[in-house]
Amino acid sequence: MREALFFEILKDDKVRCDLCPHHCVLKNGQVGICGVRKNIDGALYSLNYGQISAISMDPIEKKPLFHFYPGSEILSVGSWGCNMSCPFCQNWEISHSIPRVRDFSPEQLASLAKDHNSFGIAYTYSEPVVWFEYVLDCARAAMKDGLTNVLVTNGFIEEMPFKLLTQYFSAMNIDVKSFNPEYYRKVLGGQRDVVMKNVETAQKAGIHVEITTLIVPEDNDSEDETRGIAQWLGSIDRSIPLHLSRYFPNYKYDRPPTDLDVLEKLWHIAKEYLDYVYIGNVAGMHEDTICPKCGKTVIERNGYNVNIVGLDEEGSCTNCGFPIAIRK
Amino acid sequence: MRFPDSDKKVNFSSLKAVIISLSILLIVAIVIFAALWKKPPQYYVQYGVALGTNVTISYATEKGNAQQVVEAMFKELDNINAIFNPWLPNSELYNLNHSNGQWTQVSPELLDVLKYSIKIAQETNGNFDPTVGRLVDLWGFNSTDSAKWHLPSPSEIAAVLPHVGYQNVQFDGNKVRLLNGVWVDLGGIAKGYAVELLVEMAKANDPNSTGYVDIGGDIGIIGPKYGNQPWVIGVRNPRGTPNDALTYVNLYKGYIATSGDYERYITVGGRRYYHILNPKTGYSDNYFQSVTSISDNGMLSDAFGTAAMVAGPNDINQWSEIFGIGYFAIYENGQTQSNTLWNEYAK
């Protein structure tokens, strides 16, 4: 446990958390919507500081990040808690309940990453923005050790703390879960425009950004919605990779998995506006990176098996010289 | 039977073999080490004077063209001056200020900065106002010659105030019209614009390049020092020497700028008057000695300090939240105030 950043002390021992746009006003003893920030005697504390529920060396492609150190493994850690309430949550065991945890100091975590020859640390699995203080301290410790920081997030965080994170991160995968603001608010418990603004902020800060949209049948699988997301992303930069991921029944949803024909159709729509569109959670379906200029495959993927077949040292297509948006 | 000599010979051969093996191993180790060891980047540093202030650019790129890029950056500063210097006859802004209220076609660069400055003016309730040109001219603060800085009479100020006000700037496509004889002075924002433009130039040359651009204390980070270390930037004590820092921040990215009362000022009757003028009163205010701000936008960092120096402490927290800015303010009595974002940058 650690005293939190970004909160305001109100009257009668109440506090208002300013970390995310919920701005929970908490009486003494109350916990915020995220489940991990608590008012204790008139101050706000992060309950999950230093607590790690899952830790593993993962392929970077699992985040998913397809254009960042392709084929590398990264030490990946998660805690518990989330500030959104997606009824199809694919990680609900750690996002919406309290799992078993182990404690690591930021320095221990950075040292662990180096011991495993990881090029960095990915904060993932649960929602890292509500693990804010620990993520920040670890990111600083990692930078001091020459490591890279990666954030896998719902992007639902206030502008000021998000800008602070952008100082220390090299790559982010941000969920844009829908293009429908009402759905975002009522069903997911978030705000679309906040997420969109944070995507733009991250991109402007020079962070390598990739976007994931979980395509949930009946909820966000319309052509218009994918078109909206792709069109908006393309207006920022058409080289931002978009991952359209297949939904599987989880948590409160028992609808069948997303139809593959629907995913195929949405992939074609997104490709009108973006250079790199991938299908997630389906082996062998639009996983490869194709040069947008000459159409040659530059990275072959089969699950987490990655084979770089057409990139030169500068990250350009060996066939036509087109600069593929790859960071390494 | 064994011969002592032959024994010696065998021993000598073994020793030779060991030495040769060790030498080969050493050479292999050196080759591997040389292949794996990455030399820290060499920074090409150039100092100069541009936009009426001191400029330092420190730049490292593996492309090997740091010097050419930095020289191109200094040339770009000359272009910026030719657009944005309102006191340089025939600069684009000079011509706009002397266009007698006529619709005037302007360059995309000037249009962008003008529009952004009007947006900041609106969002800070006019405390930042780019139309203070005639006031700045009246006080003489547009000159680098301190002999020209003087306290105008109240009637002189009263005569100029009607010719100040951002509402007098009108846009129509790529045309701009200045009403009521206002003069635009983008001094509160142009350095920030220039810093960001130069940082973008450096990144366009090599996205992995590192370094910083410093134009008169407006600093933009191109990339972390040696690729992963922060640049440590001090906040000057306004009442101390230029190297006397009150606090430091560690920046990997972003833009930091300071507005202060210590660069261009006069003291009359024991009161300090400086170059950041309140567009409503015509005088400088005495809330802060300086305000330093950090954001992801060069123009915003630059303009925020100007607005805060004018508006005082009442609005600074609210604005910092609206704009997502970390700030460090030094009050006139020497007390300091900062927000969470700044405090975290200082760690």
Q: Which ipTM was obtained for this model?
A: 0.84
Structure letter (DSSP) for residue B228: T
Give the Cα separation of B36 and B28 in Å (integer).
12
| Residue partners of B107: CB distance under 8 A and separation at least 6 | B83, B92
Q: Quick check: B240 contacting A, CB < 8 Å?
A: no
CB contact under 8 A, A206 and B253: yes
CB contact under 8 A, A160 and B296: no
Nearest CB among B254, B324, B340 relative to A167 is that of B254
pLDDT tens for B59-70 read 999 999 999 999
Q: What string of DSSP letters covers B105-148?
A: E--HHHHHHHHHHHHHHHHTTTSS-TTBHHHHHHHTTTSS-GGG
Q: Quick check: B251 contacting A, CB < 8 Å?
A: yes
**Position with higher pLDDT, B6 vs B331:** B331
Longest dimension (CA), chain B: 122
Contacts of A166 in chain B (CB under 8 A): 253, 296
Mutation target to probe the A interface, by most A beta carbons within 10 A, among B319, B338, B340, B343 is B340
Q: Quick check: B200 contacting A, CB < 8 Å?
A: no
Give the Cα separation of A16 and B115 in Å (integer).
35
**8 A C-beta contact, residue A67 and residue A275:** no
Q: Which of B67, B282, B16, B262 is nearest to B163 (CA)?
A: B282
Mutation target to probe the B interface, by most B beta carbons within 10 A, among A8, A20, A167 is A167
Look at residue A218 in the predicted model and tell me its pLDDT: 94
Q: Quick check: A43 contacting B, CB < 8 Å?
A: no
A58 three-state secondary structure: strand
Contacts of B347 in chain A (CB under 8 A): 140
Sign of the dihedral defined by the CA atoms of residues B46, B51, B54, B56, in that order: negative
pLDDT tens for A177-205 read 999 999 999 999 999 999 999 999 999 99
Torsional class of A137: left (φ above 0), alpha (ψ -120 to 50), beta (otherwise): alpha
CB contact under 8 A, A5 and B324: no
Give the Cα separation of B214 and B23 in Å (integer).
50
SS3 content of chain B, % helix, strand, coil (to 5): 40, 25, 35
Sign of the dihedral defined by the CA atoms of residues A90, A91, A95, A98, in that order: positive
* Closest chain A residue by Cα to residue B251: A167
Q: How many CB pairs under 8 A join A and B?
A: 49
**8 A C-beta contact, residue B256 and residue B292:** yes
What average pLDDT does the segment A259-278 reach?
Answer: 98
CB contact under 8 A, A166 and B228: no
Give the Cα separation of A171 and A152 in Å (integer).
9
Determine if the peptide bond prior to A323 is cis (ω within 30°). Answer: no
Give the Cα separation of A47 and A277 in Å (integer).
38
Give the Cα separation of B34 and B258 in Å (integer).
43
Look at residue B31 in the predicted model and tell me its pLDDT: 57
Contacts of A168 in chain B (CB under 8 A): 252
Beta bridge partners of B46: B57
Give whole-number Cα distances, B39 to B33, B42, B224, B226, in Å: 11, 8, 15, 9
> Model confidence at B14, in pLDDT bands (50, 70, 90)?
low
Q: Quick check: A6 contacting B, CB < 8 Å?
A: yes
Which helix (H) or strand (E) covers residue B292, if one does? strand B288-295
How close A200 comes to chain B (CA, Å)? Answer: 11
- Residue B337: CB atoms within 10 Å: 15
Query: Is the pLDDT assigned to residue B4 strictly greater than 50?
Result: no
How close B326 comes to chain A (CA, Å)? Answer: 8
How close A202 comes to chain B (CA, Å)? Answer: 10
Look at residue B29 in the predicted model and tell me its pLDDT: 62
> Model confidence at B38, in pLDDT bands (50, 70, 90)?
low
Give the Cα separation of B310 and B30 in Å (integer).
61
Look at residue B81 in the predicted model and tell me its pLDDT: 94
CA A289, distance to chain mean position in Å, is: 20
Nearest CB among A146, A159, A164 relative to B228 is that of A146
A183 three-state secondary structure: helix
Nearest CB among B203, B227, B321 relative to A160 is that of B321
Beta bridge partners of B50: B53
Query: Is the pLDDT assigned to residue B17 strictly greater than 70?
Result: no
Nearest CB among A144, A159, A166 relative to B253 is that of A166
Query: Is the pLDDT assigned to residue A87 strictly greater than 50?
Result: yes
Look at residue B5 in the predicted model and tell me its pLDDT: 43
Nearest CB among B227, B253, B321 relative to A205 is that of B253
**Mode of pairing for the β-strands spanning A120-123 and A73-78:** parallel
> Model confidence at B9, in pLDDT bands (50, 70, 90)?
very low
A224, two tokens: 């218009």
A225, two tokens: 């919605």
* Closest chain B residue by Cα to residue A7: B340
Give the Cα separation of B176 and B179 in Å (integer).
10
B266, two tokens: 């006069």
Q: Quick check: A164 contacting B, CB < 8 Å?
A: yes
Give the Cα separation of A226 and A215 in Å (integer).
9
CB contact under 8 A, A143 and B296: no
> Model confidence at B8, in pLDDT bands (50, 70, 90)?
very low
Give the Cα separation of A46 and A37 in Å (integer).
5
Percentage of chain B with pLDDT > 90? 83
> Model confidence at B16, in pLDDT bands (50, 70, 90)?
low
> Model confidence at B28, in pLDDT bands (50, 70, 90)?
low
B220 three-state secondary structure: strand
Length of chain A: 328
Q: In whole numbers, what is the pLDDT of chain B averaged over residues? A: 91
CB contact under 8 A, B341 and A143: no
Contacts of A162 in chain B (CB under 8 A): 324
Looking from the CA of A34 toward its CB, the CA atoms found within 13 Å total: 34
CB contact under 8 A, A205 and B296: yes
Give the Cα separation of B206 and A284 in Å (integer).
34
CB contact under 8 A, B321 and A164: no
Give the Cα separation of B249 and B254 in Å (integer).
12
How close A164 comes to chain B (CA, Å)? Answer: 7
Percentage of chain B with pLDDT > 70? 88
Contacts of B221 in chain A (CB under 8 A): none
How close A123 comes to chain B (CA, Å)? Answer: 19
CB contact under 8 A, B341 and A163: yes
Q: Quick check: B296 contacting A, CB < 8 Å?
A: yes
Give the Cα separation of B84 and B141 in Å (integer).
16
